């Protein structure tokens, strides 16, 4: 009795493979070393790139500046942003922070936004200490925006929440700062700290 049709169809690929294997085997044996070599080279290139990125990050963390383009890996972008933040180089930080937005790395983006906000807030506080309130206002508004964006990327970022509260209190105490054009502010800079218990000057 002949085998059912479905069994005959299932057996056909196996029969074809047994027939073709003697012809395919020499070519596969020749190609296999080349495929293994290509895989090894690809792995070596990836390892070399990762090591190079790690070296650049280590240099930036040690305080040695390195040029970083917007298409660099996200961890390297963040390392340069943090390096520039120590120098309050906000204009150089901005394109790198923008580049992080499309990297699907919300935690890194939040840290970058937070660092940019801190750099702007430090400059604003320095201006306030020197009684230069007019130029300090826009910087505080921009810092507050960066903290909010950091929280959009990472809602549980407590440090960003804390500094957002500081910036918001400054705007509340000096509402003229929230205006793009306003009259000269008349207030004593020291009074801004009375509503922030335990907050040392220049902490952000």
| CATH classification at residue 83 | 1.25.40
**Total number of domains constituting the chain:** 1
Q: Is residue 202 part of a domain?
A: no
Q: What does the pLDDT read at residue 141? A: 92
Q: What is the Cβ-side half-sphere exposure of residue 175, based on CA atoms within 13 angstroms?
A: 0
- The range of the structural domain enclosing residue 140 comes to 34-185
CA dihedral 141, 72, 83, 204 (to 10 degrees): 30
Q: What does the pLDDT read at residue 46? A: 47
Q: Is residue 193 part of a domain?
A: no
Q: What does the pLDDT read at residue 194? A: 38
Q: What does the pLDDT read at residue 38? A: 58
Q: Is residue 4 part of a domain?
A: no
Q: Is residue 201 part of a domain?
A: no
CB of 76 closer than 8 Å to CB of 57: yes
What would the two tokens of residue 187 be?
A: 């207030």
Q: How many CB atoms lie within 10 A of CB 149?
A: 19
Q: Is residue 154 part of a domain?
A: yes
Q: What does the pLDDT read at residue 143? A: 95
CA distance 149 to 152: 5
Q: What does the pLDDT read at residue 60? A: 87
Answer positive or negative: Cα dihedral of 150, 141, 86, 66: positive
Q: Is residue 195 part of a domain?
A: no
> Can you give the pLDDT of all 204 residues of the chain as single tens digits?
554 544 444 445 666 656 765 666 666 666 666 665 556 555 544 454 667 778 888 888 888 888 888 889 999 999 999 999 999 899 999 999 999 998 889 999 999 999 999 999 999 999 988 888 888 889 999 999 999 999 999 999 999 999 999 999 888 776 655 554 333 334 444 444 434 444 444 444
Q: Is residue 161 part of a domain?
A: yes
pTM for this one?
0.65
Q: Is residue 18 part of a domain?
A: no
């Amino acid at each position: 009795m002949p085998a059912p049709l479905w069994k005959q169809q299932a057996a056909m690929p196996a029969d074809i493979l047994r027939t073709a294997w003697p012809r395919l085997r020499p070519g596969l044996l020749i190609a296999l070393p080349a495929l293994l070599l290509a895989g090894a080279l690809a792995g070596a290139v990836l390892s070399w790139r990762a090591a190079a990125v790690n070296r650049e990050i280590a240099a930036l963390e040690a305080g040695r500046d390195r040029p970083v383009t917007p298409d660099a890996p996200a961890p390297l972008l963040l390392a340069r942003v943090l390096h520039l933040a120590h120098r309050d180089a906000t204009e150089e930080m901005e394109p790198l922070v923008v580049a992080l937005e499309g990297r699907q790395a919300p935690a890194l983006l939040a840290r970058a936004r937070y660092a940019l906000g801190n750099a702007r807030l430090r400059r604003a506080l320095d201006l306030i200490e020197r009684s230069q309130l007019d130029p300090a206002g826009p910087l505080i508004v921009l810092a507050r925006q960066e903290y909010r964006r950091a929280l959009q990327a990472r809602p549980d970022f407590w440090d960003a929440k804390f500094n957002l509260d500081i910036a918001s209190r400054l705007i509340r105490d000096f509402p003229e700062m929230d205006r793009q054009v306003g009259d000269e502010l008349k207030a004593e800079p020291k009074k801004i700290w009375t509503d922030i218990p335990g907050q040392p000057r220049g902490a952000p």
